[in-house]
Structure 1
């Protein structure tokens, strides 16, 4: 008997499973499927991204649907268009032998009237994004008043994207007696609130521990001075010639800049963020899935719904605002039973965040040195040698062998090997022969406020809606100091501290001269330590009250150390900088902005 059949699945679904090559259920499938088939119950399932959650709810849902009725019986809500389409396609594959079952995907960026027509033709299962679903329910284009089952997939992601009100509004149009199945990678308080409000005595299953990271993913961190972060990224890519990765940045601006720099340096890269049109996003993702793009630079919001099983590395170019978000980032690799690596590039002052993440994911990080130029040259040399070893001979070359042998007859075997590899090796060697030791620079990157760094007091803090990352973003944009111009941000309740290079001192003080927020003066002054007890005699400003590439071919670009140029550039970033007229609302908008 088939292992899926042992779970109680009907023959039509088992046959489809066999066609797809599934051999054994994953842990979440083995736990969830029997419960959902045997019981009419609400369910909360906590499992990491890539563990097979779609089949865990998809198989039972399909089996419970009455295919003889065209009435909508099941609703699945998912955070992004990409994931919505993916779930719908998977359900269609699972139900290929149930010809009467109709699954319709509802999402923004497509014709709403066409989607309405599909619904009216009969859709027993609707897969939808919250925004479009709420719109169509509000227009009475969809009737979900008699559904039997509602699935909230990637519930934490939907809530992180600001869909709480949309979800509660949608669920208010569904019958109370329906069964709700909630699937999530983490269990923040917002998800618990949804479960408490809309579910009755749910069965809870957990694969691993709550918020725990995947066992298939190893975690590494590399300490780099902020100004060398991009160079560190390049070296990590160069030291892993077969890399197929997602690189995470926190802002659209940084995402676009990093992608553009990688492209300029010869890597096959692209950016995906909220300023891209849906068509641009589709083109980028199509190229990534086909491996035409090997380094995808993404914001957290834009990356939601990326479901590619063969990603080898996740690189955290910057740590996320919320520690729990790291779980989702690292879950993009190590999928479908394969191993993966999650790398983090941090400054000295950010190492404390690594310790916090370790506690959440219940796994340890290994600190590693940034690869040296010599190490990279060696890795690339032997990677090329292995590529040559595995290359199949094209015998069309046989006709040219006599002439080739004549040209090369004066060279020994050893000389030929040296010459052959030097054609490519020299490019990397020339790039890295005088390369700086980034690890030594990181160790010498001082924490002291003296010397080349100045520490400041500013009279805004947590009460104004800031955490350390959002305040850093605000300061970088307002001061126009660049990506790593602001460091050591420490947010207190009603005031904060931050550092810049001492050379920027006059610029910082001048930038906040007579600067006001909602009629309140913002005060910045030089201080000497972070507890606020002995601030220096810096100038007070504003009179306010205190306290208030990857390359698919090695060695192909002389300037970058290798790489094949991508033929596609992502669209320019339209993220705005400058002053914020309303600090708190600006931060909230960032957190809630949909991709």
Structure 2
């Protein structure tokens, strides 16, 4: 690759775009090209070429590849000439709608969205009618090629949008399979927010001396976003988030959780507490997801609680805050999250709620995004009440008067004839102020992050310690057991700590937020037809001390079935039988 240096052109006309596209741009109200559009469009219009464009979410990447793609389409041919691969259904639909807006003055140009969760028969009918451009998710696209519904053997352009996210989601093999059905003569345009090694590998394998355009710096967050973190005790994560929401009454935000389960739980709690919120995650049907996103875009929903995968289709310019209810397992994903706010030149704030043990992760994120976080204290109840009071006053001052009320003014004045102006103001604002005042007056005191937890089991700062009935006798050492637990629990590289392996049992720590996940995962868990038993320890010594208070079964360290035996293998280097069995399960998931 080589770096292409360009200069700023100030108008869309100067980029070499057709009159049809310029008319569409005028209709949409775009005034001037963004940096990524300014740098890439002239190159893509000049001659067939491969390109790698690195730019943050919200910088206008869809138009950057959409305009030149449309202009390169031969309207006299119905064959598929352009393919765009995107990671999610939402993003696929979003790109398709935007391309239709861009090409509104190109009569006869047909763009079709191909994605899972919708009728493959209906999509096949649209393809059959002629689709010069196909926008697809990798899974459904691979399926339609296999069924010989789609032919991409003669495409001229392939766009890989959000390439880093597609690879994070495990689509590498699917992309390889899809591209194997395309001609080597095509141009490949790769757009990505970050440049991990996997994206570089894609570029090397499937592209020919690509031009590289970097808007800003690789993997660096936009300067329009400020980054804050709040340290809380693990059990206070939700109440801490509520304080942040209450302290920002005009908040319009995306709240990120690690799992679908957490996403649904947080959204339900917010709704129960009277907030305008909804969840979006992979378990929702396509129709449900569409309805949620429509409500969010129309601002009928103030807070959207989302998983990282589901959020890939969120393209809203007015989001004021991103709240990281939990940090992502892969630190690089934070760049995508924070990119949901601070779009289209507006300011935004990314808030992170962490426990004390996660502060080290904040330092890792800082190195990746090239920006410092500001540590802040959660607002007090008094501060929140004050903010809410003056927000209400501002709303009242800016409210348009409904003159239909004139007929009742006389009667209203009679009602308050003995009430002074000061008393009337107090009474009026007390209606809303009292609700917040009473809540925070009676709210339970939030524990300091260093305070210990109660409620069964050990507390190691913000972690819980578990006993598990496998150990050295079963072929594990601390490293192989840690790897096994991380992948089984899907907790990421820092998700399991303080692994201590004994002869017939072991101990390990996880963040308090993951306690229920550990319990659920190992509830009926078997490994090589053997029950694996996991329990919260009652021993305060992190060094082990055995399964105090437990019955030992022969060779099992507390096995449920009471059978003796174990896995073959030596502790050094781990157990090959365990590893191969585990890898088979992982591949079949």
- TM-score, normalised relative to structure 2: 0.83
Matches within 5 A, 1:126-525: 126-438=134-446, 441-444=448-451, 455=465, 459=471, 463=480, 466=483, 489-490=497-498, 497-498=508-509, 517-518=527-528
Which residue in the other structure is 2:545 paired with?
536
Q: CA deviation at 1:408?
A: 0.3
* Structure 1 position 186, deviation (Å): 1.2
State the shift of 1:456 in Å. Answer: 5.3
Q: Give the deviation of 1:343 after TM superposition.
A: 0.7
Contact 1:526 1:536 in 2 (8 A): no
Label 1:92 to 1:535 Cα distance change in 2 as closer, same or farther (>3 A): same
Q: After the TM superposition, which of the residue ranges 419-428 and 539-548 deviates more from structure 2?
A: 539-548
> Which residue of structure 2 aligns with residue 564 of structure 1?
none
My pick for the range that moved more, 103-112 or 165-174, is: 103-112
Distance 1:472 1:165 in 2: 24
- Cα distance change on mapping 1:428 and 1:449 into 2, 3 Å: closer
Q: Determine the structure 2 residue equivalent to 1:48.
A: 56
> Match of 1:150, SS?
strand
Q: Quote the residue 1:95 is aligned against.
A: 103
Equivalent in the alignment of 2:37: 29
Aligned residues: 538
Question: CA contact under 8 A between 2:84 and 2:136: conserved in structure 1?
Answer: yes
Rounded to whole Å, the distance in 2 between the matches of 1:470 and 1:265 is: 35
1:454–1:324: structure 2 CA closer, same or farther, 3 Å change rule? closer
For residue 527 of structure 1, report the CA deviation from its aligned partner: 8.1
Distance 1:424 1:130 in 2: 50
1:375-399 deviations in whole A, cap 9, x for unaligned? 1100100000000000011111111
Tell me, in whole angstroms, the C-alpha distance in 1 between the residues paired with 2:227 and 2:206: 36
What is aligned with 2:13? 5
1:144–1:174 Cα contact (<8 Å) kept = yes
Q: Which stretch of structure 1 is more off in the superposition, 391-400 or 454-463? A: 454-463
Give, in whole Å, the separation in 1 of the partners of 2:299 and 2:248: 16
Instruction: Check whether the contact 1:186–1:210 (CA below 8 A) recurs between aligned residues.
Output: yes
Contact 1:131 1:166 in 2 (8 A): yes
Structure with more contact order per residue of length (Cα contacts < 8 Å, sep ≥ 6)? 1
Q: How far apart are residue 449 of structure 1 and its match?
A: 6.6
Structure 2 counterpart SS, 1:100 = coil
**Residue 512 to residue 158, structure 1, CA distance change in 2 (3 Å):** closer
Post-superposition Cα deviations, 1:81-131, rounded to whole Å, max 9, x if no partner, equal 111111111111111111122211112222323222222222211111111
Deviation at residue 444 of structure 1 after TM alignment: 3.7
Which runs of structure 2 are paired with 1:547-566 in the superposition (5 Å)?
Answer: 548=574
Q: CA deviation at 1:323?
A: 0.5
Distance 1:133 1:493 in 2: 46
- Per-residue Cα deviation, 1:172-210 (whole angstroms, up to 9, x for no partner): 000001010000111222222211111111111111111
| Structure 1: unaligned runs, 5 residues or longer | 476-485, 549-580, 591-595
Which position in structure 1 is the counterpart of 2:561?
Answer: none
The TM-score with structure 1 as length reference comes to 0.83
Give the secondary structure class of the aligned counterpart of 2:442: coil
CA distance in structure 2 between the partners assigned to 1:428 and 1:585 by the alignment = 53
**Aligned partners of 1:471 and 1:119: how far apart in 2?**
41
Task: Assess, with a 3 A threshold, how the Cα gap between structure 1 residues 463 and 186 changes in structure 2: closer, same or farther.
Answer: farther
Structure 1 residues 44 and 112: CA distance shift in structure 2, 3 A = same
**Aligned residues of 2:51 and 2:212 also touching (Cα < 8 A):** yes
The answer to whether the 8 A contact 1:106-1:115 is kept is: yes
The answer to whether the 8 Å contact 2:155/2:182 transfers is: yes
Structure 1 CA distance for aligned equivalents of residues 383 and 282 of structure 2: 37
- Kindly report the root-mean-square deviation, in angstroms, between the aligned alpha carbons of the 2 structures: 3.4
Q: For 2:291 and 2:184, locate their aligned partners in 1 and report how far apart those are by CA, in whole Å.
A: 41
Tell me, yes or no, if structure 1 residue 85 matches structure 2 residue 93.
yes
> How big is the shift at 1:233?
1.0
Distance 1:452 1:206, change over 3 A: closer
Other-structure match for 1:552: none
Contact 2:234–2:449 under 8 Å retained in 1? no
Q: Structure 1 residues 451, 241: CA separation in 2 closer, same or farther (over 3 Å shift)?
A: closer
- Deviation string 1:333-391 (CA, Å, 9 cap, x unpaired) is 11111111111100000110000011001111111111111111001000000000000
Q: CA deviation at 1:586?
A: 6.3
User: How much does 1:457 deviate?
Assistant: 6.9
Deviation at 1:26, TM superposition (A): 0.8
SS of alignment partner, residue 304 of structure 1: helix
How much has 1:585 moved relative to structure 2?
Answer: 6.1
